[in-house]
Chains A and B, each alone.
Chain A
Amino acid sequence: MKMKTMIRSSLIALVAIACLVPCTFAAPGGKQLTFGLVTKALDNPFWSLMKDGAEKVAEANGAKLIYLAPTKANNLEEQTRLVEDLIQRKVDGIVLVPVDSAGIVPVIERANKAGIPIALANTNANGGQVVTFSAIENYDAMTIVTEFVMSKLGGKGKVIILEGAPGAQTTTDRLRAMTDVIKKYPGITLLASQPADNQRAKGMQVMDNLLQTYTTVDAILCNNDEEALGAIEALDSAGRLGKTMVAGFDGNDDALNAISQGRMLVSMNQNPQKQAADALQALIDIIAGKSVPKRIVTQGILLTKDNVALYLPAAK
């Protein structure tokens, strides 16, 4: 009796497996190239834009793209595992956006050892061999954003910086740009500089607290749009949105809307689609035996009330 049920359940299991087999073998094997794209998190639309960009290039070249990102945002251990699994899958190349520029190096070296080419997009790594690094010049772009805010402030006022997730090269570069520009203006007071980990909820939480401490804040400089949008929420609920300028970075849809509504002052469109697309194209080119530049600079566009209409989601 018991044997019967066991046989029956294993039969059911076998049939279930057999049903799934055709769908896996239907995929054409042979020459189709498979690439991996690993970003920093699932909760920021910026990374989905990178995926869109990479997918277009993959499609145009008849290649397959596997998109993976840590479920725990900016988690190094999980990102390392994702890259390792792609190495095991022997993909033809990986476009990688490191969550931590130093901590990612060992897994890049493991990919090097396995002979799998890596192209970095958006955020650089401190070591390992990579085909190319495709990104905007974060320092230059953030300098432009900060200078814009300074000109609106007239070189005078009290400023708060929301830093990005600690340890990423983008955070370091953008923070350096913000502080370098501020130093040039003696009339500017830097009230506080705190990390908000590139997350909206964190940006709101950090700003909620800072607004309790500081009664006058003229501008908030943020490492990315998500933080900026969080800060805007905090300002709004404190009834102080009209008195404080907020600067973001990335050019996400929500940020574009905020700029057109006058809630956010400025952002930087860093063209994530192109960053990822260029990185993937570089991998395809190097496999085809073409030469590839070591650094691909993406052009950023300053987004303000004057030009935002061109980029609004409705206009696309």
Chain B
Amino acid sequence: MTTASLGLSRRNTLRSSLRRLPPVIWALLLMIIFFGVCQPRFFSLSNAISMLCQGSILMILSLGVCVVTVAGGIDLSVGAVMTFSGMIMAWLLVNTSVPIAFILLATLLVGIAFGMLNGVFVSKMRIPSFIATLGTQGIALGLSLGMNKGYTISGLPPAIGYFGNGTFLALPIPIWLAVGAFLVTFVLLRFTPFGVYAYAIGGNEDALALAGKPSWLFKIFTFGYAGLMSGLAAIVVTARSMAAQPTVGVGMEFEAFSAAVLGGVFAGRGGAGETVLGVLFILILRNGLNVVGVPTYYQLAIIGMTLIVGMALSMVLERRLRR
């Protein structure tokens, strides 16, 4: 009797923990096996590190997007804000003798300022986030192009390269920054009042407002957080190429949003962990296609197809596991 119930409960916990796993994990595993079989070099440690290092920019941006998405918003400005923060950073590095630490702080602040601005537009002026952030995307991109007449800013001091190409404990700095961003986002969403509010806003904002809670303030913070992440990504992308290209972030918001959604982040649902899975999915797919040697023309189509098949599969699996 006891043994039987024990076995049953163990099976139940197994099933329920399987149920809790985001469906994207299965697709991820399948893909890893496939690319590994096609090109054994895919499994090398250095490829993994290189992939994660390249992907750190997308990872950081996606974590910002995740927080906004959880709270029921959408942020289309992260790529452009990253570009603009990077342009400001490079300009300050080349044209002033301000200590690097302050310049990095300024870069983050530019990102936060843009994010907060988004937040004010959305929560105070009641502009739909889709439109408000599309507007700031245009502003940030235009300013990036205008401030150096469309030209890349280069000739940065070598010291800044540490944040793009340096290593700490054998791992590149961008990976550490991405891990840091993950931990902060994870804790923020799971264990702080900010997280509780973010999910509540995404779940039912009106109810929250009726309960007399200052949901607008937390909404501004979610966009501010996405801005902060854009600033952090700007530091990585600028330091990695030792230059700030005024179009470097074009299309990044699409990738960041796809990653978050693919991982299973929706309004009121999902979190930092799911985002990481979604990002890994996109990274592995992109890197794998290059390593296997698929021409770039077809890559876009394959990525698009996988996005749709992946989403459809995860919907089906989810429904089945729920039953």
Q: A residues bordering B, Cβ < 8 Å? A: 2, 5, 13, 17, 20-21, 24, 42, 64, 66-72, 74-77, 80-82, 84-90, 100, 102-107, 110, 126, 166-167, 195
Do the beta carbons of A24 and B243 come within 8 Å of each other?
A: no
Do the beta carbons of B54 and A105 come within 8 Å of each other?
A: no
CA distance A106 to B245 in the complex (A): 14
- Which chain B residues border A24 with CB–CB below 8 Å? 37-39, 292
Complex interface: stretch among B114-122, B128-136, B150-158, B222-230 = B150-158
Of the A-B pairs whose beta carbons lie under 8 Å apart in the complex, a sample of 6, sorted by A's number, is A20-B34, A24-B292, A80-B241, A88-B44, A103-B241, A106-B241
* A137 to B: closest C-beta gap in Å: 22
The 0/1 profile, CB within 8 Å of A marked 1, for residues 263-306 of chain B is: 00000000000000000000000110011110111011000000
- Which chain B residues border A87 with CB–CB below 8 Å? 50
Do the beta carbons of B242 and A69 come within 8 Å of each other?
A: no
- Which chain A residues border B291 with CB–CB below 8 Å? 85, 88-89
CA distance A110 to B250 in the complex (A): 25
By secondary structure, the B interface counts as: helix
Do the beta carbons of A20 and B38 come within 8 Å of each other?
A: yes
Do the beta carbons of A17 and B41 come within 8 Å of each other?
A: no
- Which chain A residues border B30 with CB–CB below 8 Å? 13
Does B187 touch A at the CB level, under 8 Å? Answer: no
Does B143 touch A at the CB level, under 8 Å? Answer: no
Does B237 touch A at the CB level, under 8 Å? Answer: yes
Do the beta carbons of B296 and A68 come within 8 Å of each other?
A: yes
Does B142 touch A at the CB level, under 8 Å? Answer: no
CA distance A21 to B39 in the complex (A): 10
Q: Which of B46, B154, B295 contacts A103 (CB 8 A)?
A: B154
* B315 to A: closest C-beta gap in Å: 15
CA distance A312 to B245 in the complex (A): 37
* B15 to A: closest C-beta gap in Å: 8
Do the beta carbons of B33 and A17 come within 8 Å of each other?
A: yes
* B69 to A: closest C-beta gap in Å: 23
Number of chain B interface residues as a range: 35 or more
CA distance A311 to B33 in the complex (A): 49
CA distance A61 to B223 in the complex (A): 55
* A39 to chain B: closest residue by CB: B296
* B242 to chain A: closest residue by CB: A106
Give chain B interface residues in 28-57, CB to chain A under 8 Å.
Answer: 30, 33-34, 37-39, 41, 44, 46-47, 50-51, 54, 57
- Which chain B residues border A2 with CB–CB below 8 Å? 15, 320
- Which chain A residues border B248 with CB–CB below 8 Å? 75-77
CA distance A115 to B37 in the complex (A): 26
* A200 to B: closest C-beta gap in Å: 17
* A234 to B: closest C-beta gap in Å: 20
* A128 to B: closest C-beta gap in Å: 11
CA distance A87 to B34 in the complex (A): 21
Do the beta carbons of A103 and B287 come within 8 Å of each other?
A: no
Do the beta carbons of B242 and A103 come within 8 Å of each other?
A: yes
CA distance A148 to B41 in the complex (A): 53
* B110 to A: closest C-beta gap in Å: 19
- Which chain A residues border B290 with CB–CB below 8 Å? 68, 81-82, 85-86, 89
Give chain B interface residues in 233-254, CB to chain A under 8 Å.
Answer: 237, 240-243, 245-251
CA distance A41 to B292 in the complex (A): 20
Does B149 touch A at the CB level, under 8 Å? Answer: yes
Does B203 touch A at the CB level, under 8 Å? Answer: no
Do the beta carbons of A88 and B237 come within 8 Å of each other?
A: no
- Which chain B residues border A42 with CB–CB below 8 Å? 296-297
Do the beta carbons of A75 and B46 come within 8 Å of each other?
A: no
Do the beta carbons of B150 and A89 come within 8 Å of each other?
A: no
- Which chain A residues border B286 with CB–CB below 8 Å? 81
* A21 to B: closest C-beta gap in Å: 6
Q: Which of A17, A72, A74 contacts B34 (CB 8 A)?
A: A17
- Which chain B residues border A82 with CB–CB below 8 Å? 290, 296
